[in-house]
Structure 1
């Protein structure tokens, strides 16, 4: 239908679709902060502890490389380091 009105946001005027069920909750029944003080800290500790095996190796590698770099930098900029390279 070129140039004609095709309805508001897809309301083409065809037959109603069947089988769609929509459920909603009243905003007065939602309890978004339920248990945040009683179970929140323990859940945070449990979830953090579950991530330690993934984070700890990367942290240790970063610490080792940084420590080695600082030590090597200080040595190369010392009197002994200058004598070694020149």
Structure 2
């Protein structure tokens, strides 16, 4: 009875019906193959948007937190000044406002 090929595959020995030696791991012997093309892709190109949503969320929060004190107080002050001006304009153009300030203009 012949031993199986699994027994011959690990360390070298006679393999196949003609008894060709294949060598150990990484050194299988024989001539180089021609016409076989293999392509590879870099790991950073496989998933170009991996983690983009997570990073965008936390990066946006970090940048917002660092800049909010520069633009929020003037924005809030401007909003309240505009609201005061709108309400004042509505009052001055109302019946009560015209009656109060009619002789000043």
Range into which the TM-score falls when normalised by the shorter chain: 0.5 to 0.7
Measure the CA separation in 1 of the matches of 2:74 and 2:61. 20
Rg: which structure is higher?
Answer: 2
Instruction: Find the partner of 1:43 among 31, 53, 59.
Output: 59
Deviation at 1:36, TM superposition (A): 1.6
Q: Secondary structure at the match of 1:38?
A: helix
Output the CA distance in 2 between the equivalents of 1:73 and 1:30.
60
Unaligned runs of 5+ in 1: 1-27
Q: Residue in 2 aligned with 1:6?
A: none
- List structure 1 segments (4+ residues) > 6 angstroms apart after TM superposition: 28-32
Q: Which has the higher contact order (CA 8 A, sep 6+)?
A: 2
Alpha-carbon distance in 1 for matches of 2:43, 2:85? 57
User: RMSD of the alignment, in Å?
Assistant: 2.1
Aligned-partner Cα distance in 2 for 1:48–1:42: 10
Pick which of 42-51 and 28-37 moved more. 28-37
Tell me the CA shift for residue 51 of structure 1. 1.1
Which of residues 68, 77, 82 in structure 1 aligns to 2:93? Answer: 77
1:65 equivalent in alignment to 2:81: yes
Give CA-to-partner distance per residue, 1:65-85, whole Å, 9 cap, x none: 111101101100111110112
Unpaired segments of 5 or more residues in structure 2?
1-41
DSSP-derived class of the 2:53 partner: coil
